[in-house]
Amino acid sequence: MSQSEGAIGTYEKWDFDEGTELEKREPRKAPKGALSPERAVALLYVLLALAFVLFTTLTIVSLQRDEQLSGKLKAIHGQLLNVSQEVENMRWKMTRCQAECGKELSDRLRVLEERDAPEPVLRQLAEVKQEQNRTLALLDAALEEARNLSEILCTRCPAGWQQFAKTCYFFSSAAIHWLAAKEHCTRFNAQLAVVNTEQENKFLANHIMENRVFWLGLTDMDKESNWQWVDGSSLTLTFWNSGEPNDAGHQGEDCATILPNGYWNDIPCAMPRTWICERSC
C-alpha cells in the first residue's frame, strides 16, 4: 500500500500488483454450506447405488408378479379346457339322443298309430306325440346353446377328433353313402372334408389305414365334370389318381374319395364308405 498527497489530503492506495500476489497466495474459501467436489462425487455415487438397488427391487417384484399371473392364467386355461371338453361331450350325447332316441320313439308311435285302436288310445297317442314334439324343441334349443357355448370355449378338438392347424377332423369307422355322411357331419356343426392345401391332403392321407377309403366333401352330382366342394367353393387344387375322374359305370361316379396314398378317386355316391368330417376350433 502507498500514500499520496494532493489538494484534498493524504489518502492510501492499494498497489495492484501487491493485491494480485495476495490473491495468488491465499485461495478463496468456499462459502459455508457448499459441497466440495469430492463430496459431490461421493454423493452422486451413493444416489446411483440407491437407484440401482431400487430398480433391481422393482424388477424382482415385477417378475414375481408375472410368475404369479402366469400361474393363474395357466390354471384358468386348464379350467377352460375342462369346461370345453365337458360341453363338447354333452353336445355329442345330446345330438346322439336327438338322432337315436327321437327316431326310436317316432317308430313306436307310428306302429301304434297303424294298429286298430279305440278312440281313447288314439287321443293318448296324440298327446304323447305333442309331448314328444315339445321335448324335441327343447332339446334343439339346448343343443343350439351348447353349440354356441362350445364355439366360444373351444380351445382344442373334441375327443375322437384330430387337429391340423386350426381345424379338427373326425375319421369315421362306419361306412355309409355320401349324402348320409354329409348329413352326419352337419349334425355336429361340421362338413365333409374340404382340401385346400397339399399339407392338408398329406395330413388326411397319413390318418388313413391301408384298407380304408374315405369320402371327401367333393362332388359333381349337380353338373357333370363341374366338381364342387360342399362349402360352395370350386375345385382348384387336385390330387386325382391316374386316369381319374373317369365317371365309369352306368350309374356314373359323382362323389370323390381319398385313398391311403393321398390320391383321389371318383365312385358312385351310393356306395358305402367311411368319411371325414372337419370343423373349425
CB atoms near residue 273 (< 10 Å)? 21
Q: Is residue 121 domain-shared with residue 167, that is, in the same domain?
A: no
Is 148 within the bounds of a domain?
Answer: yes
Model confidence at 257: pLDDT above 70: yes
**Computed over its alpha carbons, how large is the radius of gyration of the chain?**
44
> What pLDDT is recorded for position 174?
93
Q: What is the mean pLDDT of residues 173-189?
A: 95
Of 251 and 156, the structure prediction assigns the larger pLDDT to 251
CB atoms near residue 47 (< 10 Å)? 10
CA 258, CA 194: separation in Å to the nearest integer?
11
* CA 8 and chain centroid, separation: 106
Query: In CATH, what number is assigned to the domain containing residue 187?
Result: 3.10.100.10
- Band (pLDDT 50/70/90 cuts) for residue 206 is very high
Among 153, 177, 199, identify where a domain stops.
Answer: 153
Is 104 within the bounds of a domain?
Answer: yes
Q: Is residue 90 domain-shared with residue 136, that is, in the same domain?
A: yes
Model confidence at 197: pLDDT above 50: yes
CA 20, CA 227: separation in Å to the nearest integer?
109
- 265 φ, ψ to 5°? -145, 145
Which of 14-23, 225-234, 237-246, 256-265 is least confident? 14-23
- Band (pLDDT 50/70/90 cuts) for residue 159 is confident
- Band (pLDDT 50/70/90 cuts) for residue 75 is low
Q: Which residue range forms the structural domain that includes residue 235?
A: 162-280
Model confidence at 96: pLDDT above 70: no
Is 55 within the bounds of a domain?
Answer: no
CA 200, CA 210: separation in Å to the nearest integer?
18
Model confidence at 77: pLDDT above 60: no
Q: What is the mean pLDDT of residues 13-40?
A: 51
Q: How many domains does the chain have?
A: 2
Q: What is the pTM of this model?
A: 0.49
> What pLDDT is recorded for position 241?
96
83 by Cβ neighbours in 10 Å (0-12 / 13-18 / 19+) ranks as middle
Model confidence at 76: pLDDT above 70: no
Model confidence at 219: pLDDT above 60: yes
Place of cell 383321389: 264
Of 16 and 204, the structure prediction assigns the larger pLDDT to 204
Q: Is residue 168 domain-shared with residue 138, that is, in the same domain?
A: no
> What pLDDT is recorded for position 9?
46
Of 277 and 31, the structure prediction assigns the larger pLDDT to 277
Q: What is the dihedral of CA 62, 67, 71, 72, to 10 degrees?
A: 0
> What pLDDT is recorded for position 141?
72
Q: What is the mean pLDDT of residues 205-218?
A: 92
